[in-house]
């Protein structure tokens, strides 16, 4: 399904889901071990008062020989790379190294044009150019919006943070194509892997890299770092 959608977006052709049957959907991440960085941010700062609007994004950076850090990838809204830059598997696209403040000027027109072409070819908008600009305006700058103290949800009604039960790929592909793109997966698919506790984790392994919680040696220098900005 993703290949059909991102192929149409990149080529500007109609989205043809006739070969996709949602009843055949399977969770491709089932049984996968995922390493995650979990942050608990207190509300002590005035900037994080209830009702404050935030935009969250993170950047992955590699250590350089000169002693600094070089950004190689980033993430804000889910599915941006799989939909708009599916061939950027080595993160060589300039979008990987930009700051969100540069997004609108750098590729706002590109996003709007790609969305306009795919909805025009699919026939899902009477004003493809206008719809393309609207989508670009919602997705850029590429940060995940969240209003402090409100229920998180990334779906059709709103994009306000994201919970582990949200079907973000379905919401994003439907937004970009202006049509229903049913994945066939529901929150019940991963119900056993979710918990109300923080951090949300189940079946945590005590083996392997990333599970050692001891303070690092002051002489050790990481090869990669992930920075989160809000």
Whether 8 shows a pLDDT value over 90: the answer reads yes
For the segment 133-192, what is each residue's pLDDT rounded down to a tens digit? 999 999 999 999 999 989 999 999 999 999 988 999 999 999 999 999 999 988 888 887
For the segment 40-67, what is each residue's pLDDT rounded down to a tens digit? 777 788 888 889 999 999 999 999 999 9
- Strands 224-229 and 153-154, by their bridges, are unpaired
Look at residue 145 and give its three-state secondary structure. strand
- Contact between residue 152 and residue 162 where contact means Cβ atoms under 8 Å apart: yes
Q: What is the pLDDT of residue 26?
A: 87
- Contact between residue 64 and residue 70 where contact means Cβ atoms under 8 Å apart: yes
pTM of the full structure: 0.82
For the segment 74-98, what is each residue's pLDDT rounded down to a tens digit? 999 999 999 999 999 888 999 999 9
Tokens representing 127 are 């004003």
Ramachandran angles phi, psi of 108, nearest 5°: -60, -40
Whether 209 shows a pLDDT value over 50: the answer reads no
Q: Report the 10 Å Cβ neighbour count for 63.
A: 14
């Amino acid at each position: 399904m993703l290949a059909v959608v991102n192929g149409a977006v990149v080529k500007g052709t109609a989205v043809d889901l006739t070969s996709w049957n949602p009843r055949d959907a399977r969770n491709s991440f089932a049984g996968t071990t995922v390493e995650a960085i979990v942050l608990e941010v207190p509300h002590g700062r005035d900037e994080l008062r209830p009702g404050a609007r935030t935009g969250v994004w993170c950047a992955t950076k590699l250590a350089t020989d000169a002693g600094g850090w070089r950004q190689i990838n980033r993430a804000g809204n889910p599915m941006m790379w799989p939909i708009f830059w599916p061939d950027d598997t080595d993160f060589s696209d300039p979008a990987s190294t930009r700051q969100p403040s540069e997004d609108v000027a750098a590729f706002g027109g590109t996003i709007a044009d790609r969305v306009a072409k795919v909805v025009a070819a699919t026939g899902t908008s009477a004003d493809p150019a206008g719809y393309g600009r609207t989508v670009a305006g919602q997705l850029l700058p590429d940060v995940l919006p969240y209003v402090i103290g409100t229920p998180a949800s990334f779906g059709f009604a709103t994009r306000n943070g994201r919970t582990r039960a949200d079907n973000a790929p379905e919401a994003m592909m439907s937004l970009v194509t202006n049509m229903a793109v049913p994945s066939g997966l529901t929150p019940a698919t991963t119900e056993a892997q979710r918990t109300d506790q923080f951090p949300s984790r189940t079946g945590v392994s005590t083996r392997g890299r990333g599970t050692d919680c001891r303070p690092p040696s002051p002489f050790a220098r990481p090869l990669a770092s992930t920075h989160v900005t809000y």
